[in-house]
Amino acid sequence: MEKFVINGGVPLAGRVKVSGAKNAALALMPACILNSGINKIFNIPEVNDIFTMMKLLKELGVNSDYNNFEMSIDSSNITSQFAPYEHVKKMRASVYVLGPLLARYGHAKVSMPGGCAWGPRPINLHLEAMKKLGAEIDLEDGYIIANSKKLQGTKLHFDISSVGATGNAMMAAVLANGETTISNAAIEPEITLLAEFLIDMGAKIDGAGTSHLIIQGVDELKSAEVTNIPDRIEAGTLLIAAAITKGNIELEYGNNDHLDSVISKLNDSGVNVINNNGLLSINASGLSAKNIDIQTAIHPGFPTDMQAQWTIYMALANGTSTVTDNIYFDRFKHVPELVRLGADIEVMKNSAIIRGVKSLNGAKVMSTDLRASASLVLGGLAAEGTTEVLRIYHIDRGYQRIEEKLINLGADIKRVSTSEF
């Protein structure tokens, strides 16, 4: 096992490059199942979830060659439609293979993902979409068994906007007979990029980037190339790292509006964030954060994946603030650990009530999930004294060697081996 040992209190300064988006890559990789050929994806982050997806694809006979953040994915020799529990239990995004396998082979057996560290995360919308497209779905021994003749275009409406269900349904519908419409489709940037990748493969999709997609099924798709977008959540986390340490940093991020909700709230809190031709800079030198409430929402609202990080930022703000998670009502496993650092936070239903304190104090804390662990690292960077963050395998799932980026920005953080669990 490994842990981070952080000596807090250093204002971050300097410049780093933001890695490619984990969640976008996790949708682009299984999309390659839809064609028979060699696909290329550029700017893939080196994080453990990507390695899990590579292993899962290999299980199906899809070989990926990954070097220098570039991946070539060969889908010309698919031998299996079976996604075993062993891989799916490690990562819920594995369920993304369901739509493409069903569309191309008329059959898939995919392990049910089960619960998640902070509570239930159902996949009913994915399954309902597959059924509406004509698949028979049985649940047996923890597996989804999906069978269909050629999928048939249909009208899909999602009661809840879901990133994963939109991605899965879109990947299934591109090879269906006739027209599929998806209303209340997710408009997260990862889904827009997925639609663009599918269009480059020859799919006919209108409305990419909007909540209403119209898809005309085609008989087959060809291989394609795509450049992944930068990781908006990594960028947001680093901006908060600068804000919470009263630092001054620049991020090579690119020109996009994916992070606007977070940037706007950061500016409301008193810091100064600007994007100058793709270079995102934040200046928080000498500033104390104002208390700013946030509510998570689907894109372009404040992302749930930034909720834990905002919570620790507000723990050191002037006054009381409320952070409400409207996407995942139970996503507050980080709070008791943040309290160990001296934060004054109370969870009521799906809100954290945060009374700002003057300072945090280093302590041993334990990661419970990916974004929770990011909030603990942020707490450690701001706390007085030494913080040890245990179970950092969680952070390694989605942040590419976060400590290296932070060290480049002047932080005192070390990754060390430990027998502590």
The catalytic residue positions are: 116
How far apart are the C-alpha atoms of 108 and 246, rounded to whole Å? 51
**Cα–Cα distances in angstroms (integers) from residue 303 to residues 20, 152, 162, 209, 309, in the given order:** 17, 34, 13, 17, 11
Total residues contacting ligand EPU by CB under 6 A comes to 25
Closest CB 314 distance from ligand EPU, rounded Å: 19
Residue 196 CB, nearest distance to ligand EPU (Å)?
16
DSSP letter for each residue of 251-267: EE--S-STTHHHHHHHH
Under the criterion CB under 6 A, does residue 47 sit at the interface with ligand EPU?
Answer: no
Q: x-or-dash pattern for ligand EPU, window 180-219, by CB under 6 A?
A: ------x---x-----------------------------
Place of tokens 């490994």: 2
Is position 327 an interface residue for ligand EPU (rule: CB under 6 A)? yes
SS3 71: strand
- What is the distance in angstroms between the CA of the first residue and the CA of the last residue of the chain? 7
- Give the residue with the Cβ less far from ligand EPU, 75 or 162: 162
Per CB under 6 A, contacts with ligand EPU among 279-318 are 303-305
- The interface region with ligand EPU, picked from 31-39, 118-126, 260-268, 340-348 by CB under 6 A, is 118-126
230 binds ligand EPU (CB under 6 A): no
93 binds ligand EPU (CB under 6 A): yes
Distance (Å, rounded) from C-alpha 388 to C-alpha 386? 7
Q: What is the DSSP letter of 300?
A: T
Question: Which residue of 8, 30, 164, 189 would you call a contact of ligand EPU, by CB under 6 A?
Answer: 164
- Nearest alpha-carbon partner for 377 in 2, 1, 8: 8
**Is 370 one of the binding residues for ligand EPU (CB under 6 A)?**
yes
Cβ distance to ligand EPU smaller for residue 123 or 171: 123
CB atoms within 10 A of CB 131: 14
Q: Check residue 121 for interaction with ligand EPU (CB under 6 A).
A: yes
Closest CA to 20 of 180, 226, 228, 181: 228
Q: How far apart are CA 84 and CA 208, in angstroms?
A: 32
Residues 160, 274, 287, 416: which binds ligand EPU (CB under 6 A)?
160
Q: Binding residue for ligand EPU (CB under 6 A) from 12, 165, 389, 409?
A: 165
Q: Which residues bind ligand EPU (CB under 6 A)?
A: 23, 26, 92-93, 121-126, 160, 162-165, 186, 190, 303-305, 327-328, 370-371, 398
